[in-house]
Amino acid sequence: MAAINVALIGQGFMGRTHSNAWGQVCKFFPCPNAPVMHTVFGQPEENPAAFAANWGWKNASTDWQALVKSPEIGLVDIATPNFMHAPPARAALEAGKAVACEKPIAGTLADAREMAQLAKKSNLKTFVWYNYRRCPAVAFAHKLVKEGRLGDIRHVRALYLQDWAPESVPLLWRFDKSLAGSGAHGDLNAHIIDMTRFVTGQEITVVVGAIAETFIKERTIPSGVATGGIADGRTGAGAKGKVTVDDTVLFLARFSGGAVASFEAARQATGNQNHNGFEINGTKGSIKFNFERMNELEYYDATLPRGVQGWTTIMCTHGGDHPYVGNWWPDAHLIGYEHGFTNQAYDILRVLAGEAPTVPMPDFEDAYQTQRVLEAALLCAAERRPIKIDDVK
């Protein structure tokens, strides 16, 4: 089995999920090549050596520029804050490396466009960690739609609601536009735009209405470096800083097949820890998914006699029927959040070996299309007019 040396750029929340995935993927899947956890990059104050020792990386580095150019590295995996996606991705592609990058692909549309163009020009493999595609229930929903079980898609509802950002949370990088690009919109709407594009097999063509709101205008500046990804709950010495991203963005859109759609993202939806889901209604049936019950998919078959029609809850853990789960546990022995990343690591390895992924894999060009929709929604909210995706370059 051939080996591929992986370099991880970034630590924190995503660094842990990616490290876990690379460390266990070949224990559960028949890997076509073996990922070697070669080196992890982190800032000196993050103590990358300790991170490496804990998560199984062979080496640690505080110099990402040298790391991505190293002839020993075959795949560069980027798990940094959004503003730092483009620089290492650009350098890695220029050095001839395959690149996997966290979502959204970049902090700005311009950076996303440049990354997609460079990937196309270099003819190198690129991947984006839209990990919810690798949830068995979501991958199965994609299969049902592709088989025509829902008929013509007429209506799409998608939402991603969290409540981790009350006023007590300090001014982390996620609240700074120069570092994050946007707030709940880029962090949460990005996922549900990608999922609905993936499941329906259609593109969003126009954003017809949108609203963006920042409820908490200022937050306490942290007293130290905030780590751990979403929020570590620490407050500073009392000084306040301006929040420059949205707390919530809602928008209405149309899909290329004629369906109308609504999207909602919020970080202060009290009582919703990670309510990430969609409902897709067609002429022959409908499906519903909620990640807080990630092993289940609800399905309504309207082709049955009316007297026996009703919502069916499908437990998507049957190894012979549902994507990925045959490599995990027996039927109805549930999987969790981290398994989506491991499933994606397997598909990355398959593509690098010249094989087809289990379900379609978003590359930089695919993720750029999601970024165009994100930009269109913000433009629509700011200018209060419909925005055609074709006009967003």
In a domain, 163, yes or no: yes
Same domain, 372 and 232: yes
In a domain, 153, yes or no: yes
In which element (H, E) is residue 299 found? strand 296-301
CATH label of the domain that carries residue 280: 3.30.360.10
- Is pLDDT of 223 > 90? no
In a domain, 177, yes or no: yes
Mean pLDDT of the 345-349 span? 98
Same domain, 233 and 367: yes
- DSSP code per residue over 196-245: HHHHH---EEEEEEEEEE-S--EEEPPSS---SSS------SS-EEE--S
In a domain, 188, yes or no: yes
Mean pLDDT of the 62-90 span? 96
Contact assessment for residue 138 and residue 322, using Cβ atoms and an 8 Å cutoff: no
Same domain, 65 and 147: no
Same domain, 83 and 208: no
Same domain, 184 and 95: no
Dihedral sign, CA of 341, 346, 351, 352? Answer: positive
CATH label of the domain that carries residue 93: 3.40.50.720
Mean pLDDT of the 226-247 span? 66
CA 230 and chain centroid, separation:
14
Same domain, 236 and 165: yes
Of 109, 131, 153, the one marking the end of a domain is 131
**Domains held by the chain: number:** 2
- Is pLDDT of 275 > 70? yes
Same domain, 243 and 376: yes
- Gyration radius of the chain's alpha carbons: 21
Contact assessment for residue 270 and residue 261, using Cβ atoms and an 8 Å cutoff: no
In a domain, 355, yes or no: no
Q: Is 363 helix (H, G, I), strand (E, B) or coil?
A: coil
For residue 260, what is the DSSP state? E
Tell me the average pLDDT of the chain.
95
Q: Is 135 helix (H, G, I), strand (E, B) or coil?
A: coil
- Is pLDDT of 228 > 50? no
Same domain, 169 and 122: no
Same domain, 142 and 124: no
Same domain, 324 and 179: yes
Range of the domain at 328: 136-335+363-383
Strand bridging mode 98-101 / 126-128: parallel
Same domain, 124 and 171: no
Q: How many helical (H) and strand (E) elements, i.e. helices and strands, does the chain have? A: 11, 17
Nearest partner of 112 among 359, 381, 383, 374, judged by Cα: 374
The per-residue pLDDT for range 176-200, each reduced to its tens digit, is: 999 999 999 999 999 999 999 999 9
In whole angstroms, what is the distance from residue 136 CA to residue 318 CA? 10
Of 115, 131, 147, the one marking the end of a domain is 131
379 Cβ neighbours under 8 A, 6+ residues apart: 207, 387, 392
Q: Which pLDDT value is given to residue 138? A: 98
Q: Band of the pLDDT at 224, cuts 50, 70, 90?
A: low
In a domain, 320, yes or no: yes
In a domain, 265, yes or no: yes
The per-residue pLDDT for range 368-381, each reduced to its tens digit, is: 999 999 999 999 99
In a domain, 60, yes or no: yes
Dihedral sign, CA of 32, 37, 43, 47? Answer: positive
The per-residue pLDDT for range 112-133, each reduced to its tens digit, is: 999 999 999 999 999 999 999 9
Same domain, 11 and 99: yes
Q: Which pLDDT value is given to residue 237? A: 58
Of 100, 131, 162, the one marking the end of a domain is 131
Q: Which pLDDT value is given to residue 227? A: 42
